[in-house]
Amino acid sequence: MSNQLTIVVPVLGNQDFTLRFLKYFNTQKFKYKLIIADGGKGKLTEKVTAEIKKNPKIQYFSFYKKGKGKSLFNRYKYLIKFIKTPYVKLMANDDFFLDTTIAKCIKFLNNNKKFSIAGGSLINFRLKNKISGKFYSLETIYDLKNNSSNNILKRLSQYMSTTHSTFHCVYRSSFFKKSVNHIYKKFDKDLDFKELFFEIVNTINSKQKFFKEPISFHQVHERSEGTKRSENILDQISKSSFIDNLKYLDYEINKIVKSHKKIEFFNIYFKVFLASEIKKHKSKAYFGARDIMKLTNRLIKIKFKNNYEDNVKIFIKKFKNSKIINEIYQIKNYLIDY
pTM of structure = 0.85
- 273 neighbors 161 (Cβ within 8 angstroms): yes
Q: Beta-carbon neighbour count of residue 235 at 10 Å?
A: 11
Q: What is the pLDDT of residues 194-211, one digit of tens each?
A: 998 999 999 999 999 999
User: Cα(260)–Cα(266) distance, rounded to whole angstroms?
Assistant: 17
Distance linking the first and last C-alpha atoms of the chain = 28
Q: What is the pLDDT of residues 229-247, one digit of tens each?
A: 445 556 677 778 888 888 8
Tell whether the model's pLDDT for residue 300 goes beyond 80: no
* From the candidate CATH numbers 3.40.50.300, 3.90.550.10, 3.40.50.620, 1.10.20.10, the one assigned to the domain spanning 2-230+287-337: 3.90.550.10
| pLDDT range class, residue 226, cuts 50, 70, 90 | very low
Question: What are the phi and psi torsion angles at 330 (to 5°)?
Answer: -60, -45
Averaged pLDDT, 214-228: 71
Tell whether the model's pLDDT for residue 278 goes beyond 70: no
pLDDT score at 305: 47
User: Cα(136)–Cα(235) distance, rounded to whole angstroms?
Assistant: 31
Sign of the alpha-carbon dihedral angle for 104, 106, 112, 118: positive
CA dihedral 67, 72, 77, 82 (to 10 degrees): 100
Domain ranges of the chain: 2-230+287-337
Give, to the nearest 10 degrees, the angle between helix 152-162 and helix 191-205: 140
DSSP state string for 135-151: EEEEEEE--PPPB--S-
